Structure 1
Amino acid sequence: MKIALGSDHHAFDLKEEVKTYIYNLGHDVEDYGCYSCDAVDYPDVAFEVAQDISNGKAERGVLICGTGIGVAIAAGKVPGIRAALCHDTYSAERAQLSNNAQILTMGAKIIGVEVAKKIVESYLNVTFDGGNSERKIQKIIDREKEYGAKR
């Protein structure tokens, strides 16, 4: 699977650890930055990752900032994108199985490296199969289209 990965400067070190881990799990990783601890604005990275997932350039994404909240909000502004903030393995699994979230977000100031790796692994090891959640996700998609048509 091709994974789009990005962070802000608060999460640079964790992103680098997660990048290696995702690669070692057997996935292709595209790094969208940031590329150092120099300050960057997290929305810029989140928008780029979300847009490329929306356009099919990557299958899923992982975004990390200080709390994971900012990148989740920013990525979710891209039409069709569902970004899920997760700080435990169960939520990460459910983000995919119940919500078909294309992007997992995490907070580098909230969790440590080893927990982050397990969260990412839980998220990437499952695939949305529809079921009861299919109609709920479709309601979200339909409402998003409705709001977009009103603009």
Structure 2
Amino acid sequence: MSKNFDVRLALGGDHAGFTLKSDVAQRYADQVVSLVDCGTDTAESCDYPDFAVAVSKELLAGRADKGLLICGSGVGVSVAANKIPGIRAAICHDTYSARQGVEHDDMNVLCIGGRIIGSELAFEIIDAFLNATYAPQPRHQRRLDKVLEIEKKGIQA
């Protein structure tokens, strides 16, 4: 069977995202080039920043092309992942945002809420994310360059 997506995917989530993360892992294991499951492996309470770090490490080390994080709302993993230089994460609960976030903003981590959406919608959103590539027009690159400059230098209060 050929892979549907030419992507190496790092996947992680906390206890609130565990059920959806398990569904995602099962669905995409044979559809991507590789899938690294960064945990959690249980529905017992755990801390979402740990999984944001684990997925981000896979991307930054070059072992994954894109990351997917799932917590209860998607907010916590998004906030944590965006603290890591080189990570551009966003919550997307629709296909347009998931695709456009990659195409215009070079988003490399998709965050979704396991308590917000069901698996079928999640699969559609993930498909849009995995199929998208960054192909910037000059205005998109200009904006991303400004974001990268903020990441590099911070801001002056």
- TM-score category, normalised to shorter length: over 0.9
Q: Tell me if 1:68 matches 2:74.
A: yes
In 1, Cα distance between the equivalents of 2:39 and 2:33?
A: 18
Structure 1 residues 78, 90: CA separation in 2 closer, same or farther (over 3 Å shift)? same
Q: Aligned runs of 1:96-135 on 2, under 5 Å?
A: 96-131=102-137, 132-135=139-142
Unaligned 5+ runs, structure 2 = 1-6
Q: Aligned runs of 1:1-150 on 2, under 5 Å?
A: 1-131=7-137, 132-147=139-154
Quick check: 1:51–1:78 contact (8 Å CA) kept in 2? no
In 1, Cα distance between the equivalents of 2:55 and 2:124?
A: 21
TM-score computed with the length of structure 2 as normaliser: 0.90
Amino acid paired to 2:141: E
Amino acid paired to 1:88: D
Per the alignment, in what secondary structure is the counterpart of residue 56 of structure 1?
coil
Deviation at 1:139, TM superposition (A): 0.7
Unaligned 5+ runs, structure 1 = none
Deviation at 1:95, TM superposition (A): 1.2
Q: Percent identity?
A: 39
In 2, Cα distance between the equivalents of 1:77 and 1:52?
A: 16
Per the alignment, in what secondary structure is the counterpart of residue 35 of structure 1?
coil
- Count of aligned residue pairs for this structure pair: 149
Tell me how large the CA RMSD over aligned residues is: 1.4
Quick check: 2:9–2:32 contact (8 Å CA) kept in 1? no
Question: Which deviates further from its counterpart, 31-40 or 128-137?
Answer: 128-137
Deviation at 1:135, TM superposition (A): 1.2
In 2, Cα distance between the equivalents of 1:119 and 1:106?
A: 9
In 2, Cα distance between the equivalents of 1:51 and 1:109?
A: 25
Amino acid paired to 2:142: R
In 2, Cα distance between the equivalents of 1:25 and 1:90?
A: 21
Deviation at 1:23, TM superposition (A): 2.3
Per the alignment, in what secondary structure is the counterpart of residue 120 of structure 1?
helix
